Amino acid sequence: MQNKSNKFFSLFGVRRQGAFIFSTIALSMLSWGFSVGASLAADPFRTTNPREIGDKTEQAFKALFEEGNYPRAKRLLDEAKQSETNDPLVPALRASLAYTEEDWATMKSYADETVRVARAIAFGDPLRSNIYLAVGNFLQGAHKFEVSGPMAAIGQLQSVFRYFEQAEKIDSNDPELNLIKGYFNLILAVNLPFSSPSQAISQLQQFGSPQYLVDRGIAIAYRDLKDFDQALTFANKAVESTPNNPEIHYLRGQILREKGMRDNNVEALEEALKSFDIAMAKIDQMPVGATQEPLRRDRTSTIEALAQFKGISQ
């Protein structure tokens, strides 16, 4: 129990390293939901046995992960909640958005709703029911962690792992499940001693989908492992796939900045500044505390570092 407890708290503790990482994990792991009675859109994970999703849900997903547009995604999710009531993705994503806003009451409400809806689809889709029961319990625990501290979150610990295990028993090769668990495994591997980041990365590469979220997660993992060359490789892939998402440019800038500071590399810092400037052009569509403020700080510190390096060289 102690080992799993440490793992669980390390997941919640990601926010202590910056909400940018948590929002990537929490939002990326909350993939597509199950809906009925709505216009249908394509399942981005499965080429066989695709799930039915609602049009507003699809648009919200794209707004978040392809555009990085949080206000638009929030509006679309509010619309989806009126017509796609059997979709656990809607409250799950809304809970995650509330997390980035540090709106704990709203987060709790939607985390509880995620669990309720996930239970309601158990008969029609037991695989995804278990996935979202795990996600919902994770969100409930994250809320308790923020409001009351680590010990208050312990009640969700066994449930999260149990529901993931149940989902694996149903279909261990499901791409949606593997994307979600892949992000979990990556953050555990990066933050815990005696773990295997290379194994977690390999599993996500092999089984996760869609590819641009796989590339994004691996870029974050390599960044935190201080392997900036590999991180940049995957960040570049993510930028190529989702060039309109300012968060991806911010991530690329972070990697280049760290690489430039470590190697005293002015060219890397100049490239970092370019990426930050691209992200700054759309800063209003990103979360204020979670992304906007850190982006401004990173950009300012990069400008200062460039001035210092250039002053020394002169």
Dump pLDDT digits (tens) for 61-85: 889 888 999 999 999 999 988 887 7
Task: Answer yes or no: is pLDDT of 107 > 70.
Answer: yes
Model confidence pLDDT, tens digit, residues 9-29: 444 444 434 344 444 445 444
Domain range list for the chain: 2-196
Instruction: Give me 309's structure tokens.
Output: 């390096």
Give the span between the Cα atoms of 200 and 221, in whole angstroms: 10
How many Cβ atoms from other residues are within 10 Å of residue 297's Cβ? 10
Cα separation values, 281 from 223, 250, 276, 284, 292, Å: 24, 11, 9, 8, 11
2-196 adopts what CATH topology?
1.25.40
Eight-state DSSP code of residue 194: T
pTM score: 0.81
Residue entry with tokens 């059997």: 86
Q: Which residue has the higher pLDDT, 234 or 44?
A: 234
Strand 53-54 to 40-41 pairing = antiparallel
The most confident of the ranges 167-176, 198-207, 250-259 is 250-259
Residues ≥6 apart with Cβ < 8 Å to 312: none
Instruction: Give me 233's structure tokens.
Output: 């490789």
* 76: nearest Cα among 88, 64, 92: 64
**Average pLDDT value for residue range 34-59:** 57
Residue 40, beta-bridge partner list: 54
Q: H or E segment at 296?
A: helix 293-313
Q: For residue 52, how far is the Cα from the chain centroid?
A: 22
* 70: nearest Cα among 300, 272, 289: 289
